[in-house]
DNA sequence: TTGCGTGCAAAGGTTTTGCATGGCA
DNA sequence: TGCCATGCAAAACCTTTGCACGCAA
């Protein structure tokens, strides 16, 4: 399940290029395929899914699911982001879809707590907090 | 889509009976079907889904959409105090897939904090903490 | 009697997987 | 050369839907 691409392939580069061109937008796997199809390019669906998974794992994309049962969305975060060491969590508004970057000490504490008390090592890159934002409530 | 059963049917009563017998546990639609099958009883899968939806709508069950693609979990809350449902958070191990129920004060505090300071109302039913569990690290 | 609930089977849509081939390092 | 990544198609998966029949009220 956990796939970590190390190779610089045409497909991977193309996906990255596309995602950097639509920062802040949420894109489904289907969107990607459709986009490529329109461009006359082609990447196998399975490859799209696999690369998307990898990019999420690397912290370059966030994956979230606003509506259960609906396709998952991906959003570009940036490639430098995760490298900086500074952890960043994300809040996703289930009403308007807004993605909020969270730099917060309390979350750090929780991370610490989960690690110490629950022996659970939280992964900020994979974890998305769902809820309702200020504007939507 | 929104179905509100008013009728006291055999199937509905049976499902309620089952859920009251496993309070605090997370049950998937599949679990229900399997359980019934073992008992030699039978309720159509579609009926299970429909009733589950209804019970959620009535506030008798909570539904956790832990992860799209993975089956939704249902938990009995009670028929008398549907409003006071005590919800819990979930930790999911990205290595082994284990799902851990988290009843934890620290998380409550974080919820509070996000609400107060960040104006973000966290939704426990949708939020999953991803990370690595004790056994996998 | 009325119309909601049920069962059955099939469809729906997203995501995953098996396997042979291709291509990066 | 050694693996990882890709492509293709099929499978897997959970969930929903259509339709005719059954049954609660």
Structure token pair of residue A117: 């008390």
How far apart, in whole angstroms, are the C-alpha atoms of residue A121 and residue B91? Answer: 10
Highest mean pLDDT among A27-36, A81-90, A120-129, B73-82: A27-36
Give the whole-number percent of chain A exceeding pLDDT 90.
53
For residue A3, what pLDDT band results from cuts at 50, 70 and 90? very low
Average pLDDT over residues A111-115: 93
How many Å apart are A67 CA and D16 C1'? 15
Helix B45-57 to helix B10-21 angle (10° resolution) is: 70
User: What pLDDT is attached to residue A86?
Assistant: 58
> What residue spans define the domains of chain B?
10-76, 89-131
Give the pLDDT confidence of A5-56 residue by residue, as tens digits. Answer: 579 999 999 999 999 999 888 899 999 999 999 999 999 999 999 999 999 9
Q: What is the CA radius of gyration of chain A?
A: 16
Q: Classify domain B10-76 at the CATH class level.
A: mainly alpha
Helix or strand or coil: residue A86? coil
Q: What is the distance in angstroms between the Cα of A113 and the nearest Cα belonging to chain B? A: 8
How many Å apart are B7 CA and D24 C1'? 6
CATH superfamily of A89-131: Ferric-uptake regulator, C-terminal dimerisarion domain (3.30.1490.190)
Ranges assigned E (strand) in chain A: 27-28, 61-64, 73-76, 89-93, 99-102, 121-122, 128-132
Other Cβ atoms less than 10 A from the Cβ of A45: the count is 11
Residues 6+ apart with CB under 8 A from B22: B76
Residues 6+ apart with CB under 8 A from A47: A11
Helix or strand or coil: residue B74? strand
Interface of A with B in 24-83 (CB under 8 A): 65, 68-70, 72
User: What pLDDT is attached to residue B86?
Assistant: 61
Asked whether residue B28, judged by its CB, lies under 7 Å from any atom of the DNA or RNA strand D, the reply is yes
Other Cβ atoms less than 10 A from the Cβ of B93: the count is 21
Asked whether residue B8, judged by its CB, lies under 7 Å from any atom of the DNA or RNA strand C, the reply is no
Report CB contact under 8 Å: A126, B127.
Answer: no
How far apart, in whole angstroms, are the C-alpha atoms of residue A109 and residue A114? Answer: 9
pLDDT beyond 50 at B1? no
Alpha carbon A112 to its chain centroid, in Å, reads: 23
Q: Contacts of residue B100 in chain A, CB cutoff 8 Å? A: 118, 120
Q: What pairing do the DSSP bridges indicate for beta strands B128-132 and B89-93?
A: parallel
Give the pLDDT confidence of B21-80 residue by residue, as tens digits. Answer: 998 888 999 999 999 999 999 999 999 999 999 999 888 998 888 777 789 999 998 765
What are the C-alpha distances in Å from A68 to residues A21, A51, B32, B63, B70?
Answer: 27, 22, 20, 11, 10
More confident residue, A93 or B125: A93
Mean pLDDT of chain B: 85
Report CB contact under 8 Å: A123, B94.
Answer: yes
CA dihedral A117, A118, A119, A124 (to 10 degrees): -110
* Topology alike, domains A10-76 and A89-131: no
Give the whole-number percent of chain B exceeding pLDDT 90.
46
For residue A1, what pLDDT band results from cuts at 50, 70 and 90? very low
B41 Ramachandran zone, left/alpha/beta (phi>0; psi -120 to 50)? beta
Q: Closest residue to D8 by CA to C1' distance?
A: A44
Mean pLDDT of chain A: 86
pLDDT beyond 80 at A81? no
- Among chain B residues, CA nearest to A68: B68
Helix (H) or strand (E) holding B52: helix B45-57
User: What pLDDT is attached to residue A82?
Assistant: 46
Helix (H) or strand (E) holding B62: strand B61-64
Do you know the residue count of chain A?
A: 137
């Amino acid at each position: 399940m956990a796939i970590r691409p190390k190779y610089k392939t045409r497909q991977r580069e193309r996906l990255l290029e596309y995602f950097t061109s639509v920062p802040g937008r949420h894109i489904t796997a289907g969107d990607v395929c459709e986009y490529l199809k329109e461009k006359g390019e082609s990447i196998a669906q399975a490859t799209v899914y696999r690369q998307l998974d990898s990019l999420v794992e690397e912290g370059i994309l966030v994956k979230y699911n606003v509506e259960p049962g609906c396709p998952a969305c991906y959003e570009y975060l940036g490639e430098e982001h995760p490298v900086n060491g500074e952890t960043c969590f994300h809040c996703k508004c289930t009403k308007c879809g807004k993605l909020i970057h969270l730099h917060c000490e309390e979350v750090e504490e929780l991370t610490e707590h989960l690690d110490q008390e629950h022996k659970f090592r939280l992964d900020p890159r994979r974890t998305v907090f769902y809820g309702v934002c200020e504007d939507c409530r």
